Structure 1
Amino acid sequence: MNTDKFEIIFKRYLKKLAKRYQLFHVLSSISREKYGERISGSIIYALLSSIAVNFFFQPGHVYASGATGLAQIVSALSIKYLNLVIPVSVTFYAVNIPLLIIAWYMIGRKFTVFTFITVTLSSLFIQVIPQMTLTPDPMMNAIFGGLVMGVGIGFALRNNVSSGGTDIVSLLIRKKTGRNVGRVSLIVNILIMTIAGMIFGWRYALYSMVTIFVSSQMTDAVFVKQKKMQAMIITSKPRRVIRMIHHKLHRGVTIINDAEGTYNHEHKAILIAIITRAEFNDFKYIMKKTDKNAFVSVADNVNIIGRFIEDD
């Protein structure tokens, strides 16, 4: 079979496979996304998570959060009870497969494709990067491993890429309840650490809980997209401002007409909008373009009761 004929058959096979699993439409739509941001999020998370696992968690016998910690437990169990060495990279990949299937249907297909890339790169880096003992102190390993892992998770989520594992569960819960990712993940991971403590000893389980706490705090610190801000705008050009917020940020606006200032007695409108921290720079640009003389007050990290649409 010549090369050209083989290439034609191979392309036909790929098209049939893509059509069967509805991937062709997904990949076509992804081509319009900012590849650079998402791919960089995947690569940076994969690199940081592999450093956390191979430089801190494994040498310090500390269990990580989420799917990584579960993968460590499965790997340790295989050695302890089956006398069989299953690498963490393999168990990590196996744990994520069913969660990726759930994410495909319940979160989004573009989201899942990039998460699959992230999980694949993470497994590869964990396997390729050699283990290195920087310190034998389990507490130091717990703290610095949690810092590195938390930064990686937050950076991935900030670029609309999930690191897989319980982060998928956390995002599903956040869409329903609005709770912070790190806090939801903390609750889920405490259950995992309880299992680890019962099997391998409470000392290292407690160190692992330190890792989970540090990681969740770093995730919330880096992943600012989930933090809400309330903007109150006093403007003489309400229609123009509303139109730009609708068009550029896709956010709703509440308008209060016939507001009067007590100093100059000018009649203006008051606009109230809820945005995310990640949208704040775009919001400032919009205000400069639409009404640079408007008075704007922004309250940081407000609590929301009611429906607030999260971007996929």
Structure 2
Amino acid sequence: MRHSKTYNLVTEYGQIALGVILASIGLKAFLLPNGFLDGGVTGIALLVRTFVDIRISYLLILFSIPFLILGFYTVSKRIVIKSIVSIVALALFIHFENFDTITDDKLLISIFGGLFLGAGIGIAIRNGSVLDGSEILGVYLNDKFGISIGQIILVFNIVLFSITAWVISTEVALYSILTYIVTAKVTDLTIEGFEDFIGVTIVSKKYELIEEAIMKELGVGITIYKGTRGIGNSGKQVDFDIIHSIINRIDMKKMHRIIDDIDDKAFIIEFDVNNVKGGVLRHYINKKKNKKLPKK
């Protein structure tokens, strides 16, 4: 079903607003009252806040400006505009909202502060925005020097937490690292989803039997490629079908058993799939979609 541009725009900004609310809860109800840090620009703002009497909302905007300027020249203008709206909204929400401190337990503060913050950041990123400028820095340096974004952000945060351990305390730095880990993992889950799909390419002389068994037993869609291969030194060419499919990770062992029962010498290539849309997939979150394909 196609939706209008207005509907898509309202949906995107509505979800970004939800992300802002979740992130602000993580900051205002957990991290800020207890002096804990997160990574990135948020971590810098929290660290500076411990030394100067300036509202965290002002610091978030102030430290985000250089990254947004950088983003203007490195990523799409639409992402920059959304990010400006998101960061300003987060700063305003933090500035005006008041949450009572929920717990004094440091472990719970690290875990749940990171959980809310990570969920908020993940929802914002899924809708083409960022709440933390360090991701923009990662994109820029990756394009400039070919260093992976993950390594850039990791080094950025190692420096930040090292400074925290030196000027505040090692304990705060350690709990802040835990917060960052939780935030990063929840962000990944929010962006990529809770289901994990694997791409599979299968080469076998018994491709017809394997094709039928996969559709019957696993209930997933498949794509067939026409292939040609050489045999030995004779240079003979044989035409055959190459099977390609997307399998939920939980079905991998079952798929291997199905193939081994038909052809234990089949050539199988597996690779991670970051995102899947459309097609016939076997989902476990929504059981209504968990149907097998009809036989041919």
State the TM bucket, normalised to the shorter chain. 0.5 to 0.7
Post-superposition offset of 1:139: 2.1
Note closer, same or farther for the CA distance 1:122–1:141 as it changes in structure 2 (3 Å cut).
Answer: same
* Alignment check: 8 A CA contact 2:224 2:241 kept: no
Give distance in 2, aligned partners of 1:233 and 1:217. Answer: 32
- Does 2:110 match 1:142? yes
State how far apart, in whole Å, the 2-side matches of 1:37 and 1:189 are.
32
2:274 is matched with which residue?
277
Change (3 A) 1:164 1:61: closer
- Which structure 2 residues correspond to residues 88-127 of structure 1 after superposition, within 5 A? 88-127=56-95
| TM-score under structure 1 length normalisation | 0.62
Q: Is the CA contact (8 Å cut-off) linking 2:226 and 2:239 kept in structure 1?
A: no
Distance across 2 between alignment mates of 1:101 and 1:164: 13
Which of 122, 126, 129 pairs up with 1:154? Answer: 122
The residue correspondences of 1:114-263 to structure 2 (distance < 5 A) are 114-172=82-140, 181=150, 185-224=153-192, 229-232=198-201, 256-258=226-228
- Check whether the contact 1:49–1:152 (CA below 8 A) recurs between aligned residues: yes
1:183-229 alpha-carbon deviations (Å, 9 max, x no partner): 7534422221111221111111111111011111111222218x885
CA distance in 1, matches of 2:56, 2:51: 11
Unaligned regions of 5+ residues in structure 2, if any? Answer: 209-222, 230-237, 246-270, 282-292
1:67 aligns with 2:41: yes
For the Cα contact (< 8 Å) 2:227–2:240, is it kept in 1? yes
TM-score, length-normalised on structure 2?
Answer: 0.65
| Matched residue, 2:264 | none
After superposition, the C-alpha distances for 1:53-82 in whole angstroms (9 at most, x for unaligned) are 11000112111221111111122221xxxx
Deviation by residue 1:107-157 (Cα, 9 ceiling, x = unmatched): 111111111111111101111111421111222211110111111112221
- Give structure 1 stretches of 5+ with no counterpart: 1-30, 79-84, 237-252, 260-265, 286-291, 296-312
Are the structure 2 counterparts of residues 198 and 112 from structure 1 closer, same or farther at C-alpha, using a change threshold of 3 Å? same
Contact 1:42-1:117 at 8 Å conserved across structures: no
Counterpart of 2:17 (choices 43, 58, 65) is 43
Q: Aligned letter for 2:227?
A: N
- The CA RMSD measured in Å over matched residues stands at 3.6
Comparing 95-104 and 164-173, the one that deviates more? 164-173
Q: How far does the alpha carbon of each residue in 1:156-183 deviate from its partner, in whole angstroms, 9 at most, with x for none?
A: 21222222321222344566869575x7
In the alignment, is the contact (CA less than 8 A) between 1:38 and 1:161 conserved in 2? Answer: no
Change (3 A) 1:32 1:130: closer
Larger mean Cα displacement after TM superposition, 158-167 or 98-107: 158-167
2:242 counterpart letter in structure 1: I
CA distance in 1, matches of 2:70, 2:149: 21
Q: Please state whether the residue corresponding to 1:232 is helix, strand or coil.
A: strand
User: Following the alignment from structure 2 to structure 1, what is the Cα–Cα distance between the partners of residues 149 and 85?
Assistant: 24
Equivalent residue pairs, number: 228
Partners of 2:35 and 2:50 within 8 A in 1? no
Amino acid at match of 2:22: L
Report SS of the residue matched to 1:230: strand
In 2, Cα distance between the equivalents of 1:106 and 1:198? 34
- 8 Å contact kept, 1:61–1:138: no
